[in-house]
Structure 1
Amino acid sequence: MNRFFLSWDKPACRAVAERLLSLGNGFHRHLVLVPTRESGRQLREYLASISRTQAIFAPQVIPADQFPRMEEKEETASAPEELAGWLLALGKTPHRLYPRLFPRTMPEDFSSMLEMAGSLQNLRHAMANQGVSCIMAHHACAGRDERWKDMERLEGQCTQQLESWKLEDRTAMKAEAPPRLLNSLRETGGNIILACTAEVPPPLRHALQHAERNGVPVQIWIHAPEEEAASFDSWGCPLPEEWSRRPIPIRDGQIRIAANPARLAEETCRIIARTAEGGTPDIALGVCDPDMNVALDAALRQYGWGLHNPEGKPFAGSGVMDLLRNLRRALEEKGTARPVYSLARSSLLCASLGIKGQQGCCAALDKIQQKFLPETEEYLLSRLKEAYPGAFPSIQAILEWRNRMAEPGMLGERLMEWFPALATIYGPETEAMEMFHSCLSGLMRLQQRSTAFSSPETALLLLMKCLQPLRVRNRRKAHAALDSLGWMEVHFRPERNLILTGLNEGTVPEGGVSDQFMPEELRETLGIDSFNRKKARDSFLLTALLHSREREGSLTILLSRTSSRNDPLTPSSLLMRCPEAELPHRVERLFQEISDVPAPLPYQRGNWHLQPAEGWKTAADIGAMAPGYKNPWKEKGLAFSPSVLKRFLACPMRFWMREALHMNEEEFLPDKEDMAVNELGTMLHDVLECFCREHAVLKDGMNAASFQNAITEILEQTFRKQYGPSPLMPLLLQKRSMEQRLSVYAVQHLQALQEGWSCIAFEHQVENWILGGFPMKFRIDRIDRHADGHIRVIDYKTGAASSCEKKHLDPLGRPDALPLLSPALHPYTKRLKNGKLAHARWKDLQLPVYVLWASETYGGHPSAAYYALPANPMDIGISSWDTLHDTMPGYEECALDSACSWTVELMKLLHEGRGLITAEELGWTPPSYDVFKDLMTSRRESLQDLLGLRLTPHLPF
């Protein structure tokens, strides 16, 4: 082996490219082995960029670890077949077959066995990559670890299983140079160049030695000066005894500390902006800790740069993997309704099946789910066919696809039949489809050779397990100006300026935690990738990076004190490899106290402010605040309702935000399993209306038992019509609760009839009733008339209701603030039992509005009441409001008069679009469930942006 030292006064990529060009026009005949796939791409691009003036043929460049496996045989086992071999080798009771490897009984379900087989497969691959066999590990332990005997036997069983399928185990392949490649190199006179690869595991060494024995010279190029020759072995790997403790020439000024990833990202952007100076930045970004990527990408996007990750994205996060997860659920829960929703939401599946109008199908399914909560697929389809027949064929096509996948022993073949349609839809990201096709081919071949995986559920789990660890290269987006480079990628970048982020202990050097199978002592004995060797490698790489940017360019190390999850991070021990005299100062710098200074709000940045002296709101009405908003009460003559007034009284400003921004406080819950409060109330209302219509007046023969039977029967019919014959268990529990409530109600209703009351209206709809010149509409749950002619309006409440007065009035702590909303609004004042006066404001006007309408319709002084139907039967009953018409001594206004004046004034405010004031400013308690809280207080600039507030810039003094 011939070693050549390239010096380290320039980046490794430049040094390698320049030496290749110095070899003359025949350098394309050589094979160049580089550390990683990204290193190869970078070298090819750089060679093309520096040879634009002349036409050259670039050499073949591949990652070093791929060299021994370049020409794998067709009969080599695929990932699914190899994993299946491990599964069958484990057997059904591995703790009995391999007692030293599994001393305790382990779960024997398929998922657990699959996880164990995957772990053993990964261990065997890691050992094969280092050229270690079970026999070698057993001898290195001097017989102290008996597990290796069982491991060897287990591996033998797996190999035998693959041989019975006429497949070859890739981990058992000899470490030799590819024959066809060797012939080509011999014919052209080319060499193999191992370029700046700091790790050369035994299999690669054996393959290179095999190449030399077969007449192909091997050159070792080392990114270091000739004076460092004694600190590298014959393969160009740093010697641990030389590099594990050598001081690293880092200057204090090259290290910067940030409080968290967000601050680290901001500092990164500042450095890049200074380096770029308006042009394309000649800078590379190393992200040793992937946890920093999210913050870095977000910050760089704000600058218009963006971040590209050359390592790619996990296949586990792709749309294909999501679809396979949903298919697994559909196979395991066939006959239930829930998996149908998940499959219908897969855009890949719908597009591949030629389904148009996916959004409409999903909307139809969501509406059925929200209304009927179907448990079975059959009931879901019946409701879908009845309510949304246009969506039925699409859902039917999805279920037919699922049924094809459910055929025993045919999953691989059926997925392969569907694959062309999927690949067409998936688009230009062909690498993901190549990976998927490769695994599908292995699965299909496996199912043809073995009946052990004929179950579609187990076959799908096996396929997903093989796809899980794969990574797919991303296409570079147009805005992505910078690459997010891992630690092993940074060394081969040609840029003059370099930023290293996330250089934390545990990432650089990697590991440090002992492995249960391959502890450090065993690794050292075997001479493989021990923590000590990784530390020497990383020490050399950091040293080379520093020297390569010493003459021109810069290297900055940015550290975050915490992770994105706010866990503390420790700087890499490499940063403390300085002379002893400097160590105390270096430690102080790395671990100094640092505080996270909050970023300025948008209106506080720069040399001007958006905060006007008179307050952050300058608009007088909603039209001026949100110019595009159309007020429906003014422009369309929309009728008012008590519920609208109630929302306005909760917080006027929040009300206008919701109206102008079309924001909804209600959360949509796709995994809903029971009735929401309003749905339960609606069903109770329906049952009560039907019951009261049949039993509106007292008749002979009526008794409590007959009333209870009648109302229970009505509930049964209503419930079955809504939720089908097989409802979910949570629904059955709610039904039982309603039965208990209605049974008590039936007895009380009979008592009311016996006391002289009769029902004269149910769910009475009032339309375009005029109050104070404004139209109103509402629905009254029930209206009763007594034998003496007295009228009572009733509103049902499914929860435990307070008294009517408490539900409508709130103590007013700051009466002086009420004119901020409107000078025409006055507190409602009453005298307490202790003689003191109390001021209150209206927070709901429902019952007073009902009574005002009833007074006009029926005359006299109608009363109002809540009929509470809570879960506790002891609290069921009527709560009357008998003091609405009573005038307090010394005051002319009764509660009903006060409510009337408030109702008219509030409708006037809504009609004019006024009332831009928060509950906090009025001294009112803000709504308990408040999705707008941040916008109303600490993040007003966001509200300004949302509403397009017209604010005048205000220069600071």
Structure 2
Amino acid sequence: MNNERLFLDWSQPALPAFVEELIKRYRSEREVDLSNVIVVFPGRQAGRRFLEILTDKSAGEAIPPRIITVGTLPEFLYLPKFPFASPLTQKLAWAEALKGLQRDQLEVVIPQPPEDYDVDAWLRLGELLRRQHRELAADGLSFSDVAERGQSLESFNETDRWNVLAEVQKRYLQQLDEAGLWDQQTARLFAIKHNECRTDSEIFLVGTVDLNHTLQSMLKQVAEHVHVVIHAPPEESSRFAPLGNLQPGEWNDFTIEIDESQIQVVDGPQEQAEQVALELEACGADFSIDEITVGVPDDRIVPHIERYLAMSGISTNWVIEQTLPQSGPYRLLQCVSSYLEADRTDHFSELIRHPDLSSWISQQDLPDNWLTCWDENVTEHLQRRTQVILGSGRSAKTARQLVSVIGDLLKPFQESSRPLADWVGPLRKFLLQVYGGRDLNPDVQEDRLLLQATQKIHEAALEHGRVPAALEQVVTAQQAIELTLDELRSEFLAAPVDDHAVQLSGWLDLPLDDAPVAILTSMNEGFIPSAVNHDLFLPNRLRTHLGIEDNQRRYARDAYAISVLLHSRKRVKLIAAKRDARKEPLTPSRLLFAASPEKVAHRIVRFFDDHEEDLPTIKTGLSTQREDHDFRIPKPVKMDEPKRSFRVTEFKDYLVSPYRYYLRHVLKLGEVSDSVVELDPAGFGSLIHDVLQGFGQSDETLQTDPVQVSGFLNSQLDQLVNKRYGSDPLFPVHIQVEQIRHRLNIFAQWQTEWVRQGWEIKHTEIGYGKNTTLNLADGSEITLRGRIDRVDYHPKLNEWVIFDYKTSDKAQSPEQTHRYKDEWVDLQLPLYRHLAKPFGVQGKVRLGYITLPRTTPQIRDRIAEWSEDELKEADDVARKIAENIINEEFWVELDKPITWFQEFSGICQDDVFGREAVV
């Protein structure tokens, strides 16, 4: 007996018409009894909408049918004899089947097989074969079928590979048999072969135009109970097979009637979002929000649409509120896995910064500033691993406590390898420790997502305990966590439905949607239709030869879907983009060219023309009447008492930006980060300074042999590096130390030549401990603070030179750094005169740098040539700045933005359009 085919004209949406047909068939005097009916849809969204329409049209008097998707239909048609193997068990079985091959056989499939201990790599291969097996079996094929049929395909040279894969497939099924399990796809084929498909229910297939061969064979065994609902007019019946499948060849030359006004070409994702907003505004007068559906074939642009519409005050419904890999628990386990794998400092820093773990840490017995202490220690010592924490100060002590707390938390994971199922308990315990103390409310979005995520992770972990003993792997905790996460990479957390929001739908859900308005984005090749050209095992040419899903079938499916939209909706807009979310160029969908040659030519020119199409302006939703910002730059707060002590290096900060000077020197704000991967400029310079300080205080200062001086400097450098950074610092530190060593060796040559000229080092690192004052115009005085790197004296000339070591890559002179257009921009060296006087540095005093740049020929002295009048002018500038600071003149708007002091760019709203001031 043949199945029934029911055509519903596509001049109207399918679901309302189908519901009316069901009510007409199954209505009795009292009710509409659909209890013996199974309704099959391509996806869940159509099923939910069908139930809403059924409830409405039957006035609540219908006994609903069983609503399922195509993927679950086969198991309603036969009775499996054994339990099905889980996806993880299947992957493990495939991996074991592969590993069991002889080496020469294995290399036919995989030229470079992984090592036996690399569980992750083998499981990735197992997943790859699982997918190939599932797809082929869905169309009734085995790996040996591919090997046999492929031989009749010209230039097919993969016979040996598929024969070996057939042996792997045989081993895979044998392992499941021995475990008392069944491969689902194979079970279906067994049911077909033995004519076991049965049903007492009436099955209605709705919109299922691309059934695989296996399901078709199963349905043919129960054909008398099958009713195929085809959303198309009867005159198009030749384009459909008996079970409703599209006849791909019948759609190759099918003309798709699209009016030019229905097509809009835009640039990228943001412009697509803007166009959606424009279309919604244009529909506003004639359609309510629940009568509009936005199709999104490329889900990467969903965030763009959601954000843009939210700015317009429009809510959206998207089935995915968050992918599981974006959730807090998933990311936390990723951080744990990374840290367990290598015990690296950067991974530890990432782990403790995870918001959920950070919240847990803050509840432990640690100082409130534990994170700052950790960052300070990382920046100071640049350790590669956390096994030994260097340092003896407050930051080091807190860092050790922090490592200990995390070590206790992760202690169950530190044990040696064990069977996969044995890691379920430690994983559950870890999640309970971090999240168990929270009071979670399912009505709160953040809590709801957290509950969903932890539940899915726990369920995936429990699957490990169901793996047959013969397939169970012995793994580390890190591998167990990665296996759990791998099972969940494609999972998502469902979003609640907002009845007053615009519906965003995937492309495959759109044909059965009944909203009168459809706005379809990403009308581009690769999305509509999608394509498969570079499959590792099944390229498109082989797919066509085998009769499985290929590009022709995909084209037919999408040509039919777009035709349904165009015929059944009152308003349709197709948006094609020129670039994707990664700024890569896109091409228009081939469906746009299923038209007359004249229209094709016009559309090609329209898409590839560089001229931007004129778009109307959105009249509502994105404007604001506010004249103020939500965030204002915080104004300076009055100090408890005037500042009267100044470092000589801080005056230049005030000259750059009085407000940022206030942030740094009055509020003592600064930037601490754990993201350093090498010595920053300050750390690089500090290491050189400390080596040279040790030299300046040694007995080697009068040495005239550069080899002797180099030897001393190198010894000092090695001692300092070992003390400060330990024996295992980050690798870039080793390179930087050698760079410093090279600079010091060149310095030794300059130093010995300088001594031969008659100069000697008199003071090193002086300035602190002696009060130095500077009188102001009102008779008051301020204190100057600082530390002079080096003071040299020439007895015969009776001259002094005050030196500051400069280690920056550019060997600038004092004039370049201190003055700009004849004005003082830095006062450090002139003010050193005052700091040096208490140490007897008087008379003829010169000021300069010893530069140690990257370009070693420029390692030498650079003496300033400032007159006494210029130096007195510098003193006056210092007095004026000090007076401004004492008077708290910090809120000063600048003429133009500054290019440094960037640690405060967020507070000062750098690069923010329309900020209130430039400070």
Interval containing the TM-score (normalised by the shorter chain)? 0.7 to 0.9
Structure 1 contact 646–845 (Cα < 8 Å) conserved: yes
- 3-state DSSP class of the match of 2:635? coil
Superposed CA RMSD: 4.5
- 3-state DSSP class of the match of 1:174? helix
- 3-state DSSP class of the match of 2:582? coil
Alpha-carbon shift at residue 321 of structure 1 (Å): 3.9
Letter in 1 for 2:913: E
Structure 1 contact 176–207 (Cα < 8 Å) conserved: no
Question: Is 1:681 aligned with 2:691?
Answer: no
Question: Is 1:508 aligned with 2:528?
Answer: yes
Identify the residue that residue 823 of structure 1 maps to in structure 2. none
Identify the residue that residue 303 of structure 2 maps to in structure 1. 294
Q: For 1:417-428, what aligned pairs fall within 5 Å after superposition?
A: 418=430, 427-428=447-448
Question: Is 1:571 aligned with 2:588?
Answer: yes
Identify the residue that residue 868 of structure 1 maps to in structure 2. 851
Alpha-carbon shift at residue 561 of structure 1 (Å): 1.9
Q: Aligned match of 2:611 in 594, 607, 612?
A: 594
CA–CA distance in 1 between the matches of 2:613 and 2:424?
Answer: 54
Question: Is 1:235 aligned with 2:237?
Answer: no
Question: Is 1:60 aligned with 2:66?
Answer: yes
Identify the residue that residue 535 of structure 1 maps to in structure 2. 555
Structure 2 contact 830–874 (Cα < 8 Å) conserved: yes
Alpha-carbon shift at residue 26 of structure 1 (Å): 0.4
Residue 559 to residue 357, structure 1, CA distance change in 2 (3 Å): farther
CA–CA distance in 1 between the matches of 2:236 and 2:535?
Answer: 33
Residue 704 to residue 122, structure 1, CA distance change in 2 (3 Å): same
Identify the residue that residue 817 of structure 2 maps to in structure 1. 807
Alpha-carbon shift at residue 685 of structure 1 (Å): 3.0
Identify the residue that residue 14 of structure 1 maps to in structure 2. 16
Q: Aligned match of 2:913 in 941, 945, 949?
A: 941
CA–CA distance in 2 between the matches of 1:197 and 1:867?
Answer: 80
Structure 2 contact 267–578 (Cα < 8 Å) conserved: yes
Alpha-carbon shift at residue 282 of structure 1 (Å): 2.4
Q: Work out the percentage of aligned pairs sharing the same amino acid.
A: 21
Identify the residue that residue 901 of structure 1 maps to in structure 2. 876
Structure 1 contact 633–639 (Cα < 8 Å) conserved: no
Alpha-carbon shift at residue 723 of structure 1 (Å): 1.9
Alpha-carbon shift at residue 555 of structure 1 (Å): 1.0
Matched residue pairs, number? 871
Identify the residue that residue 181 of structure 2 maps to in structure 1. 167
Structure 1 contact 323–346 (Cα < 8 Å) conserved: yes
Structure 1 contact 793–850 (Cα < 8 Å) conserved: yes
Q: Aligned match of 1:441 in 423, 438, 462?
A: 462
CA–CA distance in 2 between the matches of 1:599 and 1:536?
Answer: 35
Per-residue CA distance 1:805-842 (angstroms, 9 max, x = gap): 222223x3xxxxxxxxxxxxxxxxxxxxxxxxxxx233
Identify the residue that residue 444 of structure 2 maps to in structure 1. none
Question: TM-score scaled by structure 2?
Answer: 0.82
Alpha-carbon shift at residue 501 of structure 1 (Å): 0.6
Per-residue CA distance 1:582-639 (angstroms, 9 max, x = gap): 444444444444328899999xx9899999xxxxxxxxxxxxx978411668975365
Question: Is 1:842 aligned with 2:820?
Answer: no
CA–CA distance in 2 between the matches of 1:571 and 1:796?
Answer: 62
Q: For 1:442-481, what aligned pairs fall within 5 Å after superposition?
A: 442-446=463-467, 448-450=469-471, 452-456=473-477, 458-468=479-489, 470-476=490-496, 481=501
- 3-state DSSP class of the match of 2:6? strand
Question: Is 1:918 aligned with 2:884?
Answer: no
Structure 2 contact 652–825 (Cα < 8 Å) conserved: yes
Residue 695 to residue 515, structure 1, CA distance change in 2 (3 Å): closer
Identify the residue that residue 737 of structure 2 maps to in structure 1. 735
Residue 739 to residue 523, structure 1, CA distance change in 2 (3 Å): closer
CA–CA distance in 2 between the matches of 1:600 and 1:661?
Answer: 48
Alpha-carbon shift at residue 847 of structure 1 (Å): 0.8
Alpha-carbon shift at residue 756 of structure 1 (Å): 6.2
Structure 1 contact 305–479 (Cα < 8 Å) conserved: no
Alpha-carbon shift at residue 61 of structure 1 (Å): 1.3
Identify the residue that residue 571 of structure 2 maps to in structure 1. 554
Identify the residue that residue 830 of structure 1 maps to in structure 2. none
Moved more, 567-576 or 41-50: 41-50
CA–CA distance in 1 between the matches of 2:728 and 2:457?
Answer: 39
Question: Is 1:759 aligned with 2:762?
Answer: yes
Q: For 1:214-225, what aligned pairs fall within 5 Å after superposition?
A: 217-225=225-233
Letter in 1 for 2:830: P
CA–CA distance in 2 between the matches of 1:639 and 1:49?
Answer: 80
Identify the residue that residue 38 of structure 1 maps to in structure 2. 45
Alpha-carbon shift at residue 300 of structure 1 (Å): 1.2
Identify the residue that residue 170 of structure 2 maps to in structure 1. 156
Identify the residue that residue 821 of structure 1 maps to in structure 2. none
- 3-state DSSP class of the match of 1:912? coil
Structure 1 contact 783–791 (Cα < 8 Å) conserved: no
Letter in 2 for 1:38: Q
Letter in 2 for 1:273: E
Per-residue CA distance 1:735-794 (angstroms, 9 max, x = gap): 344455556657876777784645346242376834535745431324637457755432
CA–CA distance in 1 between the matches of 2:17 and 2:662?
Answer: 61
Q: For 1:307-456, what aligned pairs fall within 5 Å after superposition?
A: 307-311=316-320, 313-334=322-343, 336-348=344-356, 356=364, 360-380=369-389, 386-388=397-399, 391=402, 393-404=404-415, 407=418, 410-412=422-424, 414-416=426-428, 418=430, 427-429=447-449, 432-433=453-454, 435-446=456-467, 448-450=469-471, 452-456=473-477
Letter in 1 for 2:301: M
Alpha-carbon shift at residue 120 of structure 1 (Å): 1.8
Structure 2 contact 269–580 (Cα < 8 Å) conserved: yes
Q: For 1:621-632, what aligned pairs fall within 5 Å after superposition?
A: 628-630=634-636
Gap regions ≥5 residues in structure 1: 612-624, 813-839, 887-893, 921-925, 950-957
Identify the residue that residue 835 of structure 1 maps to in structure 2. none
Letter in 2 for 1:562: R
Q: Aligned match of 1:646 in 646, 652, 655?
A: 652
- 3-state DSSP class of the match of 2:514? coil
CA–CA distance in 1 between the matches of 2:145 and 2:198?
Answer: 35
Residue 450 to residue 148, structure 1, CA distance change in 2 (3 Å): closer
Question: TM-score scaled by structure 1?
Answer: 0.79
Gap regions ≥5 residues in structure 2: 441-446
- 3-state DSSP class of the match of 2:448? coil
Letter in 1 for 2:426: R
CA–CA distance in 2 between the matches of 1:436 and 1:485?
Answer: 26
Letter in 1 for 2:38: L
Structure 1 contact 626–948 (Cα < 8 Å) conserved: no
Letter in 2 for 1:917: L
- 3-state DSSP class of the match of 2:246? coil
Structure 2 contact 389–399 (Cα < 8 Å) conserved: no
Q: For 1:634-713, what aligned pairs fall within 5 Å after superposition?
A: 636-637=642-643, 639-650=645-656, 652=657, 655=660, 670-693=674-697, 712=714
CA–CA distance in 2 between the matches of 1:262 and 1:436?
Answer: 34
Residue 640 to residue 599, structure 1, CA distance change in 2 (3 Å): farther
Structure 1 contact 42–492 (Cα < 8 Å) conserved: no
Identify the residue that residue 884 of structure 1 maps to in structure 2. 866
- 3-state DSSP class of the match of 1:377? coil
Identify the residue that residue 721 of structure 2 maps to in structure 1. 719
Structure 1 contact 68–177 (Cα < 8 Å) conserved: no
Letter in 2 for 1:58: P
Residue 585 to residue 734, structure 1, CA distance change in 2 (3 Å): closer
CA–CA distance in 2 between the matches of 1:703 and 1:948?
Answer: 54
Moved more, 382-391 or 230-239: 382-391
Identify the residue that residue 131 of structure 1 maps to in structure 2. 140
Structure 1 contact 175–206 (Cα < 8 Å) conserved: no
Alpha-carbon shift at residue 63 of structure 1 (Å): 1.0
CA–CA distance in 2 between the matches of 1:381 and 1:15?
Answer: 75
